[in-house]
Structure 1
Amino acid sequence: MDRKLLQGARAYSLGRRLLMGWLCGVASFALAQAQAQPAASTERSLSEWLDRVHAAPRRHNYIGTIVVSSNAGAMSSARIWHACDDDERQVERIEALSGPPRSSVRRDNRVMTFLPEQKLVRVEYHESLSRFPDLFRSGGAAAVAELYTVRPAGTDRIAGFETDVVLLAPRDAMRFAHRVWTERRTGLVLKRQTLAPDGAVLEQTAFSELQLDVPLRPDRLLKQMQPPPGWRMETVQAVRTTAVDEGWDLKPAVTGYKPVACYRRGSASGAMQCVFSDGLASVSLFVEPAPEPSAQHEGALAAGATHTLTRRIPGWSITAVGEVPQQTLRAFAQSLERRP
C-alpha cells in the first residue's frame, strides 16, 4: 500500500470515529438496557433505544473538544461543531487542534477537508458514513448482541455531565472489547475506550469539554464550506462497485461482519475500498494495482486500536485496516482472490 493510500486509510479510520463513533456507543448502551429486560420485551426495548440513537443527532446541537489518545502515547485533539434543524439536516465541522492545521466540514455524505499549508480543499463522498448506523435498523443490533456480552459498569462524570458506563466484551478473539460512557439525559456518548484482551486501554476517544443544545444552525456551518479565494479544489471520485465487478472473489471472512459499502476511487485502475462492520467495529479492505513483481508476503502495523495488514500478490497490493485484532485483518486479507 503506497504512503498516500495508507494515510487515507488512517484518516478514514480516525474520521469515522469522530463522525460516527458516538452513535455506535449509544447503540451499545441500548443493548445493555435491552439485556436487562425480560426476553419477550428485549426486541421491542432495543428498537425503542435505537430509535433514540437515530433521533439524537437530529435533535441535539453541540460544540465540544474531542481528545483521542493511544497506548503508544500518541495524542490528538479536535474541535467539533454539530448542528441540526427541523428539516433534519445535519452539518458537522471538525478542526484539528494538534498536528498539521486542517479542518473538515461534512454535510450528509459530502466531506470537504481544508488544508491551509497547501491551500487545498479536498472534496470526498463517504457513503459509509451516512449508511453505517443503518446496520442497527436493518437487524444488525440482534447480531451485535450475539457477538458481544453487555453489562453495566457503573457511573461517572465526563466533561461535567453525569454518565452511565457500559462494558461490551467480545464472545470471540476476532474483535476488541469496548467501554462506553453515555450522557444520562440525552444518551449522547461522551467517552469510548477500545480494550485489549488483557483489559488494557488501546485507544480512548472522549470529550474534554462539551456544550449541549447550543443555538447553532446548519446554515452557519455550511457557509464555511466555501473555499477561500486562490485555493485549489481537488475532488476525490468514488464510484460504487462490488468486488465481483472489479474482478475479485470475496469469500466470507469473519462471522458477524457485514458489508457496508464498496467503491473505487478515480479511474478504472484506481484503488478499491470495501467496508465491513459488525455493528461496533469496522474493517476496510483497500485493493490497488502493484505492477512491480513481488513475492507474496505480509506486513503489519499497529497504532493504538487501529491495525493495518498488507498482503501482496503478483500485480496487486491488499491492505486491511480496522480497529480489530491482527488475526481479523489477516482473515479479511486472505478472503480476496483474483478471478481468472
Structure 2
Amino acid sequence: MWLALGASAVYAQSAAPTAAAPQANAPASSASPGNAAQQQSVLHWLERLHMATRNRSYTGTFVFSNGTEIASSKIWHVCDGRQQLERIEALTGAPRITMRRNDEVAIFFPVQKLVHKDRRDALRQFPDWLRPTNPRIDSFYSVRVVGSERVAGLEATVVDFVAADGLRFGYRVWSEQRTGLMLKMQTRSPQGRVLEQVAFTELQLDAPVRLELLARQFEQTNGYRIVHSVQRPSTALDQRWRMRHDVPGFQPMVFNLRQDPNAAPIAQWVFSDGLASVSLFIETFNPQRHTRESVQAEGATHSLTRRVGDHWVTAMGEVPPETLLLHIQALERLR
C-alpha cells in the first residue's frame, strides 16, 4: 500500500457519514490565524505542496511515528523539473536504502545483497504530495490556516485539511513559508487524535545534491540479486469486476495484476479521493489460507478482509474501517 505516508509507504510494498469534530482543528501552539487571503482552496494548497519539490534539491532527516513504531530516515532529493531522483536511507531497523527515479523504485537490502525493483503505486510520499487528481476534492475536504510554527529551524504555515464526513481522516500540514515544502504532517482522527506523524528534524534546502550521482547510485546493482515486481496493467472490466455504486469521493485510479510464479495472480484496484487512498487486493478464495475475516489497524492504516463469492478481498488504506467495508460491499463480480 501506501499506503502509509512517509518512507513506510515505499518500504511496506504497501455507514452514514458524520461531521468531523471541532477538536480535530485545535489551533497550533504559538500561532496566529491566517487572514482571509490565506484561506485558499484545497486545490491551491495541494498544488503548492506538490510544486515545492519541483526544481529544488534538499537533504534532511525525518522521523515517522504511528503510536507503535518510530523510524528515522535520511533523505537526498533532487529535481530538475523533468527528472526527480531521491535516496532514502533507513537509520533505524535493518539496513535499507530506497532509491527513486520518477515512478521507478529500487529498494536495496545490503545485508542480503538484494534489490527489489518496482513502480511506485503510492499516491503520495513525504514530503511530496502528487498533483491532485480529483477536481471535486473541495467537496470532501475544507482547508483552514491555523497559524505558524517552527519546524527543523524553519518557519512554517500550519494548515488543516478537514474531512467533510466520517469516511476519511483529516490532516494537519506544516508548509515551509518561503518554498511551500512540507516539513511535517499529521494524520488525525475526527476527534483530533494524532494517528500518524512524519516530520523533518533537520533540513537543508537547496543543498548541493547532484542528479547524476543519484542516477548512478540507482543503477549500481553489481553483486546484488535483483528481484523485479511481476505486474501488468489491466482493467476492472477485463477482469470482470465492477463497483455497484461509488463510495463518496473515491475514484478508481489503476488496476494491476501481480503475478507470483508459484501462486495465483492477485489483482490490486486502487481508489483515491485526492488525498486518501484505498487498495482492494483480490485473489481466489483458498479455504486453507483464508480461514477468518478480520480487521486490523496500525496508526492511520487499516485493513479489512472479507470473502466475496469465490474470492478473498483485502481492503487496505489510510481511512476508517467503515470506508474499507463500503468498498468491499460495493464490489461485484461480473458474469
After TM superposition, the score normalised by the length of structure 1 is 0.81
User: Matches of 1:231 and 1:46 in 2, distance apart?
Assistant: 44
Amino acid at match of 2:165: D
* Structure 1 residue 15 displacement after superposition: 5.6
CA contact (8 A) 1:296 1:311 kept: no
The Cα of 1:338 is off from its aligned counterpart by 2.2
- Structure number with higher helix proportion: 1
Following superposition, the deviation at residue 304 of structure 1 comes to: 0.5
Sort the Cα spacing of 1:162 and 1:15 in 2 relative to 1 into closer, same or farther, 3 A.
closer
Please point out which of 227, 240, 243 is paired with 2:233.
240
Deviations 1:264-312 (A, max 9, x none): 1126941111111111111111112233378896311100111111112
Q: Which runs of 5+ in 1 are unaligned?
A: 1-8, 20-32
Contact 1:294 1:314 in 2 (8 A): no
Number of the residue aligned with 1:106: 100
Q: 1:317 to 1:303 in 2, by over 3 A?
A: same
Once the two structures are TM-superposed, the CA of residue 117 in structure 1 deviates from its matched residue by 2.9
Pick closer, same or farther for the CA change 1:175–1:133 going to 2, 3 Å. Answer: same
Q: CA separation in 1, counterparts of 2:65 and 2:247?
A: 28
Instruction: State which drifts further: 110-119 or 120-129.
Output: 120-129
Deviation, structure 1 residue 189: 0.6
Look up the match of 1:96.
Answer: 90
- Name the structure, 1 or 2, with higher relative contact order (CA <8 Å, separation 6+): 2
Equivalent of 1:283 in 273, 278, 286: 278
Equivalent residue letter for 2:107: T
Q: Number of residue pairs matched?
A: 308
Change in CA separation of 1:38 and 1:202 when aligned onto 2, cut-off 3 Å: closer
SS in 1 for 2:236: coil
Match of 1:79 among 74, 83, 90: 74
CA apart distance, 1:93: 1.0
Cα pair 1:281 1:324 within 8 Å, conserved: yes
> What's the counterpart of residue 169 of structure 1?
162
Is 1:183–2:199 an aligned residue pair? Answer: no
CA separation of 1:16/1:76 partners in 2, compared to 1, >3 Å: closer, same or farther? closer
The answer as to whether partners of 1:288 and 1:317 remain within 8 angstroms in 2 is: yes
- Equivalent-residue separation in structure 2 for 1:68 and 1:38 (angstroms): 28
1:153-201 deviation line (CA, Å, top 9, x unaligned): 1110000000010112211110111111100000001011111121111
Long gaps (5+) in structure 2: 11-32
TM score, norm. by length of structure 2 = 0.82
Deviates more, 1:153-162 or 1:278-287: 278-287
Cα RMSD of the aligned pairs, angstroms, is 3.0
